[in-house]
Amino acid sequence: MALNIDACIAQHQGDRKEQQDRVAILQHERKKGVALAVVADGMGGHAGGALAAEQVVHTARNNLHQYSPEGETPFDLLHTSLLEAHTMIKASRFINEKDPHSTGVLLLMQPGKAAWAHCGDSRLYRFRGDQPFFRTCDHSYVEHLVRSGKISPKEALTHPRRNVLMTSLGGREKPFITYDESTDLQDGDSFLLCTDGLWGYFDDQELARIIHVSTAREAAGRLIDLARLRGHGGGDNVSIAIVKLVETAEPKAAPRFGAGRPV
């Protein structure tokens, strides 16, 4: 039995004047079964944030096409992609006189294994069936307070400094990047990459349940609908990438990538 991939990306501008998120699922040009999901949340005023997030996707795409699994580790690709994006975003402030920054979360899928990395507060969740299995730890001030026991996760959602990041791509300091991987993938596992415009409205259990009972495309639409409803007219940009692993008896097919909601 082989594991096939059901994947989808989706976005909504929310109630903001501009869409500054970027999201993509990229397939390797030469290596079958190798794909990279990317979510980036740009910051830095009009146009600056969008350009920063776009740089994250652009850099990831270029590095994926040059990636050789035989001679490189997954972390080589993830590390290079995020650091190169950081350098390019930082350099761009001298060109456009903006102060661009971006978060970045990347998931590299290869046959039988997955690896991921993130900087900032865009998240990666891993679910096993309808249960939460793992999520990344935000590089944010409020996550630091939660981890140190000074506030509860519920209090973090409404904390006045909930949007303050401890690190980001394009900042003055070298970004802090966290890496992890898994080689125990199985049928029913799923991954969600998303910006804070989504995760701020859900707990981990609800996310797991919605993704488990639906196709990737259906789940993306449902999550955006609920985020819009719960935003009460003040919702942020929303970007989602969903990757579901489904066991199949058929020969392994190319990943099925669905389109989500229009931007």
Asked if the model's pLDDT at residue 263 lies above 70, the reply is no
Q: Strands 35-43, 104-110: parallel, antiparallel or unpaired by DSSP? A: antiparallel
Q: Strands 256-259, 178-182: parallel, antiparallel or unpaired by DSSP? A: unpaired
- The confidence score (pLDDT) of residue 47 equals 74
- The confidence score (pLDDT) of residue 17 equals 92
28 three-state secondary structure: coil
Find the mean pLDDT for residues 75-101: 89
**Its pTM surpasses 0.75:** yes
Find the mean pLDDT for residues 79-104: 88
Q: What angle do CA 27, 30, 87 make, to 5 degrees?
A: 60
- The confidence score (pLDDT) of residue 219 equals 98
How many Cα atoms occupy the beta-carbon half-sphere of 65 within 13 Å? Answer: 7
Span 129-146, pLDDT tens digits: 999 999 999 999 888 888
Give the rounded distance of the alpha carbon of 119 from its chain centre. Answer: 10
243: tokens are 């990757």
**From CA 12, how far away is CA 177, in angstroms rounded?**
27
Find the mean pLDDT for residues 223-245: 96
187 three-state secondary structure: coil
**From CA 36, how far away is CA 25, in angstroms rounded?**
6
Give the rounded distance of the alpha carbon of 174 from its chain centre. Answer: 20
- The confidence score (pLDDT) of residue 167 equals 95
Q: Which of 202, 82, 235 is nearest to 135 (CA)?
A: 202
